[in-house]
Structure 1
Amino acid sequence: MTRTTDVSRFPPCRAEATPPPTLHAEAIQLFCLPHAGAGASAYRDWPVMLAPGIEAIPVQLPGRENRHREPALHSASELVAELRGPLASRAGRDFALFGHSMGALLCYELAHVLSALGKPPRHLFVSGLGAPHLPPAGPRLHDLPDDELLAVIAELEGTSPEVLAQPELVQLLLPLFRADLEVWETYVAHRGSLQVPITAMGGRHDPGVSLDMLSAWGSLTSADFHLAVFDGGHFYHHAAPDDVAAVLKERLRESGPVPAVAEKYGHGTRA
């Protein structure tokens, strides 16, 4: 079956002269959503890293890289509404979701929406983010003054010092960071339990996400739950890509397709 390709939302993240990696015929699709301020290129090495058994598909959000002319969206509901149709069309019968930080929140929402459409993911990987029903763990960041927000961004070590040292780039990046942080900081959890296996992943030394916060994801699924902890901070996956790949491959081998049934939603709040 031919799958719909949307280059704006699912860019190849490789040079045109570089051939795509060889995949098994039964390769599992893994849609990868980026952290705040980042684009699909955050996963530029993953297609080769995870082939041939996993087809890594980076997801591009509005306002960045090849979609830089589009306005950034400021709420999870807007982003999920924008992505659900293309994702449902692009996804085959066997797919999973991976998101880091803000991307984990979007993956959680998309897992609910796609499950309700009768197309649940095989597995949900949430990385670098505490469970969304927990109370906020720190102060609001998206409306900080520029210099204070830049200090927070630098401390997380997800943006190179060379980029942060260029005022022109900073002025382009700050509105995007603010929009993405607002997505998380204004989010209100109102979903019930998923019927999808969840693996929560994080760095042992992440200053903003404790192991207890990661473990709390286990209460959001009626299926299997795993916690994978790595050496490193918030961007542990940049430092240990082989270890991350091993966990992804192992969990996807262990988890089978989940029943394609619409779930029942409960109610609750983040606060």
Structure 2
Amino acid sequence: MTTLVRPFVHRPHASMRLLCLPHAGGGASAYRGWATELPDGIELWAVQPPGREDRVMTPPLAHMDDLLNDLVPAVVPLLDRPFALFGHSMGAVVAWELARALQQLEAGSPVRLFVSGSVPPQIRDVPERPLHTLSDDELCDRLREWGATPEAVLADPELMALFLPVIRADLAVVESRVHRTEPLLTCPVTAYGGTEDGSVGSDVLARWGEVTTGPSNCRMFPGDHFFPHSARSAVLADITDRLGADSLYGKAGTA
């Protein structure tokens, strides 16, 4: 399969679609396990950016505008029923930009945007030396510090030759992005964080409320930066509850 956006389960009678965007270096498979835990009323879709997993032969994209230019036309055909967006880390910023692009085009607005493990875009600082400009050795050292890449992968030159261009491009998508404050979203925004993730605390997560005119809230779950996987059942239960409220009460949802 080479498609940018793909379903993990076909539920033709589902009342809502949930589209998930992965973290930097990640792929659609990060959400594969979610399909069986979501109720039949939610159809799970995921974004598979180029350069990874089954799209390894397609060059990765290093600019937000290029990614959006591919994403928007791929997503529009899915908007024939209510939809929500979920993005983790880098994926949260991409999901926010996607929601704004769809809203501006009047193609549709998500019933809720879920952002996870991410500093909100209006306060995101790019390091004096952007991470995507580091040498291969320096970037490997940084990946080792983050602890998200298995040591067996970091020690394998052939695997790293495939992985480094992907993570470098993903970092560039966020670091080269020019921030525009407008337009604000109109949908509810829910921000999630991990209690052991020192880079994104609840006070920072709360500022995601500044990107929308709708209601917003944040919730913390036990775990580090990758809590959506370690605390998956609790995260999915909260998503399900909120989407149930949104489908009952309309776009305004509940905070």
| CA apart distance, 1:151 | 2.3
Match of 2:80 in 1: 92
1:48 aligns with 2:41: no
Equivalent position SS for 1:133: helix
- Aligned-partner Cα distance in 1 for 2:189–2:240: 14
1:123 corresponds to which of 112, 116, 124: 112
| CA apart distance, 1:137 | 6.6
1:10 corresponds to which of 5, 9, 13: 5
- Aligned-partner Cα distance in 2 for 1:137–1:185: 6
Question: Gapped runs of 5+ residues in structure 2?
Answer: none
- Aligned-partner Cα distance in 2 for 1:153–1:146: 10
1:249 aligns with 2:240: yes
Match of 1:258 in 2: 251
Is the 1:142–1:181 contact (alpha carbons within 8 Å) kept by the matching residues of 2?
Answer: yes
| CA apart distance, 1:144 | 1.4
Aligned length: 247
- Aligned-partner Cα distance in 1 for 2:222–2:27: 24
Structure with the higher fraction of residues in helix conformation: 2
1:152 aligns with 2:142: yes
| CA apart distance, 1:68 | 1.7
- Aligned-partner Cα distance in 1 for 2:91–2:142: 18
Structure 2 counterparts to residues 65-84 of structure 1, below 5 A: 65-84=53-72
| CA apart distance, 1:109 | 0.7
TM-score, normalising length from structure 2?
Answer: 0.90
Equivalent position SS for 2:84: strand
1:133 corresponds to which of 122, 131, 136: 122
- Matching residue's letter, 2:221: F
Compared with structure 1, are the counterparts of its residues 27 and 208 closer, same or farther at alpha carbon in structure 2 (3 Å cutoff)?
same
Is the 2:2–2:55 contact (alpha carbons within 8 Å) kept by the matching residues of 1?
Answer: no
- Matching residue's letter, 1:177: I
Is the 2:14–2:43 contact (alpha carbons within 8 Å) kept by the matching residues of 1?
Answer: no
Match of 1:223 in 2: 214
Question: Gapped runs of 5+ residues in structure 1?
Answer: 1-5, 14-19, 260-271
Is the 2:14–2:40 contact (alpha carbons within 8 Å) kept by the matching residues of 1?
Answer: no
- Aligned-partner Cα distance in 2 for 1:155–1:27: 42
Is the 1:30–1:57 contact (alpha carbons within 8 Å) kept by the matching residues of 2?
Answer: yes
- Aligned-partner Cα distance in 1 for 2:112–2:57: 33
- Matching residue's letter, 2:174: W
Is the 2:192–2:218 contact (alpha carbons within 8 Å) kept by the matching residues of 1?
Answer: yes
Is the 1:29–1:92 contact (alpha carbons within 8 Å) kept by the matching residues of 2?
Answer: no
Compared with structure 1, are the counterparts of its residues 127 and 54 closer, same or farther at alpha carbon in structure 2 (3 Å cutoff)?
same
1:4-35 Cα offsets, whole Å, 9 max, x none, are: xx96123455xxxxxx47x4823310000111
- Aligned-partner Cα distance in 2 for 1:234–1:138: 19
1:107 aligns with 2:102: no
Task: Please give the root-mean-square deviation of Cα atoms over the aligned residues, in Å.
Answer: 2.0
TM-score, normalising length from structure 1?
Answer: 0.85
Equivalent position SS for 2:70: helix
Is the 2:5–2:75 contact (alpha carbons within 8 Å) kept by the matching residues of 1?
Answer: no
2:176 corresponds to which of 162, 178, 186: 186
Residue identity over aligned pairs, in percent, reads: 41
Compared with structure 1, are the counterparts of its residues 95 and 7 closer, same or farther at alpha carbon in structure 2 (3 Å cutoff)?
farther
Compared with structure 1, are the counterparts of its residues 121 and 135 closer, same or farther at alpha carbon in structure 2 (3 Å cutoff)?
closer
- Aligned-partner Cα distance in 1 for 2:111–2:251: 6
| CA apart distance, 1:222 | 1.1
Compared with structure 1, are the counterparts of its residues 166 and 230 closer, same or farther at alpha carbon in structure 2 (3 Å cutoff)?
same
Equivalent position SS for 2:118: coil
